[in-house]
Every structure is written in C-alpha cells, then in structure tokens.
Amino acid sequence: MWERTYFMIKPDGVHRGLVGDVVRRIEAKGYRISAMKMIRITGDEAREHYAEHVGKHFFSDLVGFITSGPVVAMVLEGEDAVEGVRKMMGSTDPKASAPGTLRGDLGINLSRNVVHGSDSPASAEREISIFFEPGEIMDFTRNDEKWVYPEEK
C-alpha cells in the first residue's frame, strides 16, 4: 500500500555531516522525498512531537536534545513506507541495530541515534502535520518509479 511517513535526521546526524549519506540511502531504496527542509524545532513542537512520552523520566532529555540544533525534516512516500523506513532505520538503540541499517551504521547510542521515523500511519499523519503545511508537500512522480513500483499505485 502506498503511504506517506515522517522522517527526520536529528541534530547529531546534521552536526556529524550525515545528511547526504542518509538522503542517498533513502533515495537509493526507492522512496520519494515529497518534502524536505532544515528547521530548528521549537520547544512547543518538540513537546507535541513527543507527546506520548510526557511523564517519562527521559522526556525532558528528548525535548532538550531535539531542540539543541537543526534537524532535516522530510515527508517520504512509497509502498509500505512506514514499515520499510522503520526497517531501514534499525532498532532505536544503535548497539542492537543490524549492520546496514541507518542506526546500526551511523548511530552512537540510544540518545544519539541519528534519525527518527513514524511508527504507524496515524503517527505519520500527526507528525507530518506538526512540521509541514499541506502546500509544502510536493505531488510528483519520480522518473524511476516505474522500475521501483511496476504495479499501479
């Protein structure tokens, strides 16, 4: 099923110069980047983004880290994009992530794991709406999609 998902390169990935490598891997896998921008997340946006973690002992650290520097926010599209992008990312803890995954190859530890991706279609819709206006999301077809997705969407 064709889906949209929210994906973010976190401040550690931006500061370590990993944006190009991460974007290359996303595109090589065949996902369409229909929106992308570098932003500095506000405290309010961070609290809304991490709302499911309110009250947990690590909540303030999450908010502090994600607002500590620029991030690259994206809307990705593709067949089963939520699940596929989650597999590309690997386990939340890079030490438990398989080699070949973004976190397995690039992450340092649980709090410096380089990327975030929505965990469900409902989360994707919610997270996209926090960081993107509808007019910022491009509707187009990549030239290689007939090779990546030979069936009609």
Query: What domains lie within the chain, and their CATH numbers?
Result: 2-141 (3.30.70.141)
pLDDT score for 141: 87
Per-residue pLDDT for 151 more than 80?
no
Report how far residue 102's alpha carbon sits from residue 138's, in angstroms, rounded to the nearest whole number: 25
Percent share of the chain, pLDDT over 90: 89
User: CB of 109 within 8 A of CB of 21?
Assistant: no
SS3 16: coil
**Section 8-23 average pLDDT:** 98
Report how far residue 21's alpha carbon sits from residue 86's, in angstroms, rounded to the nearest whole number: 17
Per-residue pLDDT for 19 more than 80?
yes
Active site residues: 116
Q: What distance lies between CA 47 and its chain's CA centroid? A: 17
**Section 92-98 average pLDDT:** 95
- pLDDT band for position 152 (50/70/90)? low
> Within the chain, where are the H helices?
11-15, 19-29, 43-49, 59-66, 81-89, 102-106, 121-131, 145-148
Report how far residue 127's alpha carbon sits from residue 107's, in angstroms, rounded to the nearest whole number: 22
**Section 126-138 average pLDDT:** 97
- pLDDT band for position 30 (50/70/90)? very high
DSSP state of 44: H
For the four alpha carbons of 66, 69, 72 and 74, in that order, the dihedral sign comes to positive
